[in-house]
Amino acid sequence: MNVTIHPTAIIEEGVFLGDGTAVWDNAHIRHATRIGEQCIIGEKTYIAYDVRIGNRVKINAFVYICTAVTIEDGVMISAGTIFTNDRFPRATTVDLLRLRPSDPDEHTLPTLVCEGATIGAGSTIGNDLTIGRFAMVGMGSLVTKSVPDFHLALGHPATSVGCVCRCGQLLFRFLQQEEQQITHTVPCPACDLKYVIQDRVITELTPPT
């Protein structure tokens, strides 16, 4: 199998790396994580145990991916992104006498990043949410709720401001809520793929074959 692992990377027991995947310097991948084919794991990135990552995923430097995160094919996660999985984190028991265990429990909540999505640099991703297919999260955003397919989400907290093409080009900026019942047929100015936008739902007319 053709896998590139930098000599300073830490790959724990039971990790699966798909063919063509590269893990760069000082990355740390915990036990039982599975990473697909032709992925890039950037320097000083930490991936917790039991994480699932698909094929052709690009994870840049200084990314933190915790347990209960699933990343589908073709996702880009830019530098400095942080995932979370606990809404009520505490270091110790209530009497401060014992450390709480780090094993998943009823407070460990999942995050799903769907195929083709992009997460911009320096973003923080909450939990119990989904980032939809080919959605785009702008740099520095704080994501506290799910992002629909093809939506562009920005801000603190992140809100949907428009929609993007599979290629990443901005297709349409959302107007006031009462104006969203209008149906728009929108061709991408960069690659000519076509979409229908109605009530903030984006449907592909010409998905690539």
Q: Is 43 within the bounds of a domain? A: yes
Global pTM reads 0.94
Q: Is residue 19 part of a domain?
A: yes
Domain annotation covers residue 101: no
26 vs 173: CA distance, rounded Å: 40
Residue 61 within any structural domain of the chain? yes
Q: What is the CATH number of the domain that holds 59?
A: 2.160.10.10
* Bridge partners, 63 (sequence order): none
Residue numbers of the domain that contains 13: 4-88+106-175
Q: Judge whether 78 lies within some domain.
A: yes
Whether 69 is covered by a domain: the verdict is: yes
Residues in the chain with pLDDT < 50? 178
Residue entry with tokens 């599979």: 166
Half-sphere exposure of 123 (CA within 13 A, CB side): 27
> Are residues 193 and 206 in contact, defined by beta-carbon separation less than 8 angstroms?
yes
Overall number of domains in the chain: 1
Asked, for residue 192, whether it belongs to a domain, the answer is: no
In a domain, 139, yes or no: yes
